[in-house]
Structure 1
Amino acid sequence: MASTTRYCPSCLSHTSPNTLLRRAQGPTPFINQQIRTAAQSQNAQKYKRKDQPASQKRKKQRTTFLEPDMREAIQFPLVDAMRYLRAAEVGRPPTSSKYEIHLRLKTLKNGPVVRNRMRLPHPVKTDLRICVIAPPDSAAAKAATAAGASIVGEESVFDAVKEGRIDFDRCICHQDSLPKLAKAGVARILGPRQLMPSAKTGTVVKDVGASVREMVGASEYRERLGVVRMAIGQLGFTPEEVQRNIRAFIEGIKRDIAGLSDRISKDIHEVVLSSTNGPGLSLNGEMRGAASVPTRDVSTV
């Protein structure tokens, strides 16, 4: 449609052609831009995205594991904890259930872990099958056999492992047999089972006889997610025997912590006693309470 705007002839003589063209085209581009911006602002206000609730906002990651407040925890003397755990094991064979200790540590998530092996004053398991990798006719092999090793050899052990016949619970390697062990290709089989000998875990030794004697009745432990767990006694142990084992275990953990770097902060936060099929009960460090039963009542199977 043609424009209906009319201009005076005298005004046209004083008006430039560009001005006439802009008047004919309508509003200037600047005004058009202002109109579009206002429309977009109204549209944005209409469909403005709501803020995420506080529960969905990304929280800062913790650098340490959770540490429960022990002032609010229900804790038990050792005799009472053993009494309740024995009640949870009623009807099960005594040899199939054991007491277990759990040490919760104050530690960093990405810090070094505690890992070692210990022989308790009252061993929990004395029927360990120990394998020694050493030349069959060497003096080390004879010493290992005399100390109680169930399997001794090199190539025969490697072939059995590759075939899936792992008839041992611990594995020790003599220093002279370490190159053959590395070339045997059994690390991918023994490694996931935590049976691969290494100098870091103290299972690559020179005196295999002494290591076997030390390992018989010893238990291994490793910190996982800030907690160290290990079997601490059989169901028929007396409270005195369990107490001695717990003290020895805690002292061993403290020595392991002291052996770490001084810049690493790690300490024991809580001691929990459980059984194979029972709950975990936090210990208060006492042997008996005011209402505890006599120790002889929890000393028989």
Structure 2
Amino acid sequence: MASANQCIASLARLSLSVSKRPVQSTLPRFLAPSIVQTRCKSAGSTAMQKRERDKAKLKKKKKQNRHKEYKYATPSQEERYSICDAMRYLRAFEVGRPPSSATYEVALKIRTPKNSLVLRDRIRLPYPIKNDTRIAVICKEGSGSMHDARAMGAVAFGEESLFELIKANPNKLPFNRLICHVDCEPALKKAGLGRILGPKGLMPSLKTNTITKSVGAMMRDMAGAESYRERIGAIRMPIGNIQFTPKMLSENIKALVTAVREGTMRMEDKVKKDLIEVVLSSTSGPGFSLNGAFNSTDEKVKPEYLSTAM
């Protein structure tokens, strides 16, 4: 009996150790489920192939152009307004605010390639917005430039003494404009003031035209002038007080647009820039795209009505 049980056990082990052969299916291919079938994309006609190629090229071109220009490269599709119409609406947004704290602001949208040369300069507007320019001058102690700075009303001047003043009061500087005589440029670089002056936009450099041989002429040019700089495809700056008349605001905008266009023309041989839109806003108001006209579309609204105090 024991030998019989051993024989049955050995036969069972043999049956488990033998691998099973795969069963060949005799099912016709056209009756097999779709997941089993291998499908091949049809090449299509010549016209279909051409459309696919054109679609791929267009997609590639859009992807390449997507990051070449800033988002302001395309003008907005909103309605455009005259100066008087835009002022009429913006003055309504500023009702209840102190007139001294509300200003008009302008944004010039520029079509320009990314990482290209930046447009920056200073402009003396026909009607200045503020006259709180406080100028400091880096110049040799006891030099003629120091006497010119004192005579022109600089709030601080000198070389080592001015460097010590900046390091001692980095957050409470007594000036909002800083120019440097060309002879003091090496000393300025050695002083290592870039970390303090750079974030405030006060570091003198040749790019910003704040390193000069003539301190007196630079101070006369800087007093009452406004600086502007292109950032991410647009130039933004205050353009007038909320109590400005339409004529005053219009002349300031024209002066800025003219200066920007002249600047883009000077850079034509290096980079192409196009002014595509002018947007007027205020401290609390939205932006209104300007169409270049002056008078209001409503005949009842005269420029004189927008010239009175709010």
- TM-score tier, shorter chain, comes to 0.7 to 0.9
Q: How big is each residue's C-alpha offset from its partner over 1:265-294, in whole Å with a ceiling of 9 and x where there is no partner?
A: 211111001112211111110001330511
1:114 is aligned to 119
2:75 and 2:277 in contact (8 A); partners too: no
Q: TM-score, normalised by structure 1?
A: 0.78
Q: Deviations over 1:30-62 (max 9, x none)?
A: x89x99xxxxxxxxx69xxxxxxxxxx998243
Q: State the one-letter code of the partner of 1:115.
A: R
Return the match for 1:196 from 196, 200, 203. Answer: 203
Question: How far apart in 2 are the matches of 1:253 and 1:297?
Answer: 31
In structure 1, the residue matched to 2:30 is none
1:296 has 2:304 as partner = yes
Q: Is 1:171 aligned to residue 178 of structure 2?
A: yes
Alignment of 1:78-93 (within 5 A): 78-93=83-98
Counterpart position of 2:131: 126
Match of 1:223 in 2: 230
Instruction: Tell me the equivalent position of 1:281.
Output: 288
- The one-letter amino acid paired with 1:202 is N
The residue correspondences of 1:9-28 to structure 2 (distance < 5 A) are: none
Q: Distance in 1 between matches of 2:20 and 2:127?
A: 101
Q: Residue 148 of structure 1 contacts residue 212 of structure 1 at CA under 8 Å; is this kept in 2?
A: no
Matched residues in 1 for 2:303 and 2:228: separation? 28
**Count of aligned residue pairs for this structure pair:** 258
Paired residues of 1:147 and 1:210 also in contact (CA < 8 A)? no
Q: 1:69 to 1:132 in 2, by over 3 A?
A: closer
Q: Distance in 2 between matches of 1:83 and 1:101?
A: 16
SS in 2 for 1:222: strand
For 2:141 and 2:294, locate their aligned partners in 1 and report how far apart those are by CA, in whole Å: 50
Unaligned 5+ segments in structure 2 are: 1-9, 13-17, 26-34, 37-58
Whether the aligned pair in 1 keeps the contact of 2:111 and 2:233 (CA below 8 Å) is yes
Structure 2: distance between partners of 1:263 and 1:160: 40
Q: Is 1:144–2:149 an aligned residue pair?
A: yes
Unpaired stretches in structure 1, ≥5 consecutive residues? 4-23, 36-44, 47-56
* 8 A contact 1:141–1:152 mirrored in 2: yes
* CA contact 1:121–1:248 (8 Å) conserved in 2: yes
Q: Which secondary structure state, in structure 1, belongs to the residue aligned with residue 207 of structure 2? A: coil
Three-state SS of the structure 2 residue aligned to 1:181 is helix
Cα RMSD, aligned residues only: 2.7
Shift of 1:26: 7.6
1:99: which partner in 2? 104
Deviation digits for residues 230-275 of structure 1 (CA, Å, limit 9, x no counterpart): 1111122111111111111011111111121435221111100111
Per the alignment, residue 160 of structure 2 pairs with 155
Preserved CA contact (<8 Å) 1:257 1:266: yes
Aligned CA distance change for structure 1 residues 295 and 136 (closer, same or farther; 3 Å)? farther
* Cα pair 2:296 2:302 within 8 Å, conserved: no
Q: Residue deviations 1:139-190, cap 9 Å, x none?
A: 1112122223221122222112112231111100011111111111211110
Distance 1:146 1:263, change over 3 A: closer
Equivalent pairs: percent with the same residue?
45
Q: Are residue 269 (structure 1) and residue 281 (structure 2) matched?
A: no
Q: C-alpha separation between the residues in 1 aligned to 2:157 and 2:270?
A: 42
| Residue equivalent to 2:263 | 256
- Residues 49-88 of structure 1 correspond to what in structure 2 (within 5 A)? 60=63, 61-66=66-71, 67-69=73-75, 72-88=77-93
**Cα offset for 1:78?**
0.2
- d(CA) in 2 for partners of 1:136, 1:94: 43
